[in-house]
């Protein structure tokens, strides 16, 4: 289902593209009900857009153009860059709850010159995003608060809800925030257990700063710790050697899919989790690099079978196919 942010941007783009639309026309173009259209029009009005409407079944919606000017010293490309960045933040929820970001974006767009607003409207008409991984709403205030205690190195009392719905309260020493592309994670030292832990930021219920500044000894690689946590729940793991530098290997196998160790300047050892040997063999074949499976034997054999089948399939096709014409 399309998100509220996407719908409002699409609705705004349609209203800018034509003088008047009926609720039925907008509903058909957006693939929603007329009730949703009316609700989204009300949201735009709450955000400050002057959307006029005529009563009756055939009444239309019109967007009255703003005569405001951009009160910023930005040229067209700079204004476009800021607006695109806000648009992506609203879509991906990189800053938490998308409503505050979306509100800022729509307010900014009212102040843009028409030539810049039309370019953004073209994006809204053609850009689509896949459904995001579901989670609890994360407010920008919570995200900013966690970042502040990480920066200060201040011990906090953390109220947290686990995946199973169990609420706990513990003292932690916050260190870093890590964004995986889907969610934010807090990396912190659990004081009572003396162990590093990762906490999904959208499951943080409350944060109470203690006022005690602490020095974290020997901190871990926060991004690696989160990556290891994300791939720690698979029943089977493959260890492979990729003939790629560490940077290239991390592009081929993202940190959310495996953990990486450099093996010299031109090779990387990667540990990848999967449900079974066959699915891991298929994943490794799709990488398209001459990798070496170090372990286990079951995954090595799965890769061998696929490689042999590919060679035989292409060999038989060459033997039975027609000869090329001179």
CB 210 within 8 A of CB 171: yes
Domain 231-317: assigned CATH number: 3.30.70
* CATH class belonging to 4-126: mainly alpha
C-alpha of 46 from chain center: 27
Q: Using the Cα atoms of residue 315, residue 317, residue 322 and residue 324 in order, give the sign of their dihedral.
A: negative
User: What is the C-alpha separation between 305 and 229, in angstroms, rounded?
Assistant: 31
* Tens of pLDDT, residues 180-191: 766 789 999 999
CB 89 within 8 A of CB 46: no
Domain ranges of the chain: 4-126, 140-220, 231-317
Per-residue pLDDT of the chain in tens (326 residues, 90 and over written 9): 445 666 777 787 788 777 788 888 888 888 888 889 888 888 888 777 788 887 656 668 888 765 444 445 566 777 777 777 777 676 666 665 556 676 777 777 777 777 777 776 666 655 555 545 445 667 767 877 888 899 888 999 999 998 788 999 999 999 998 887 667 899 999 999 999 999 998 899 999 999 999 988 889 988 888 877 877 768 888 999 999 999 899 889 887 778 889 999 899 999 998 889 999 999 999 999 999 999 999 999 999 999 999 888 887 555 555 544 44
On whether the pTM is more than 0.85, the answer is no
C-alpha closest to that of 175 among 159, 193, 199? 199
User: Residue 142: CB partners within 8 Å, gap ≥ 6?
Assistant: 96, 201, 204, 207
Neighbours of 222 (CB within 10 A): 19
* CATH class belonging to 140-220: mainly beta
* Tens of pLDDT, residues 108-148: 777 777 777 777 666 665 555 554 544 566 776 787 788 88
């Amino acid at each position: 289902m399309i998100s509220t942010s996407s719908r409002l941007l699409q609705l705004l783009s349609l209203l800018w593209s034509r003088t008047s639309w009926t609720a039925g026309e907008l509903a058909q173009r957006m693939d929603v009900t007329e009730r949703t259209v009316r609700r989204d029009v009300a949201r735009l009005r709450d955000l400050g857009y002057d959307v006029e409407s005529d009563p009756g079944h055939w009444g239309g919606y019109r967007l009255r153009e703003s005569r405001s000017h951009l009160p910023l010293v930005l040229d067209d490309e700079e204004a476009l860059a800021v607006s695109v960045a806000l648009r992506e933040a609203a879509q991906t929820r990189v800053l938490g709850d998308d409503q505050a970001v979306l509100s800022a974006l729509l307010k900014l767009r009212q102040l843009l010159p028409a030539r810049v607003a039309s370019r953004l409207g073209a994006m809204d008409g053609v850009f689509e995003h896949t459904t995001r991984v579901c989670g609890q709403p994360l407010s920008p205030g919570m995200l900013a608060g966690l970042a502040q205690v990480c920066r200060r190195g201040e011990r906090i009392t953390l109220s947290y809800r686990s995946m199973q719905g169990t609420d706990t309260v513990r003292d932690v020493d916050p260190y870093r925030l890590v964004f995986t592309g889907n969610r934010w994670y807090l990396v912190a030292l659990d004081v009572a257990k003396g162990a590093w832990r990762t906490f999904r930021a959208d499951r943080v219920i409350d944060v109470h700063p203690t006022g005690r500044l602490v020095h974290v000894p020997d901190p871990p690689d926060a991004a690696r710790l989160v990556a290891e946590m994300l791939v720690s729940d698979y029943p089977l793991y493959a260890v492979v050697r990729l003939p790629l530098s560490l940077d290239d290997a991390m592009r081929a196998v993202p940190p959310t899919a495996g953990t990486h160790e450099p093996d010299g300047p031109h090779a990387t050892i990667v540990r990848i989790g999967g449900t079974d040997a066959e699915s891991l063999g298929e994943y490794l074949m799709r990488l398209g690099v001459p990798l070496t499976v170090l372990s286990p034997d079951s995954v090595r054999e799965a890769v061998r079978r696929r490689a042999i089948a590919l060679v035989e399939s292409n060999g038989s096709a060459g033997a039975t196919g027609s000869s090329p014409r001179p």
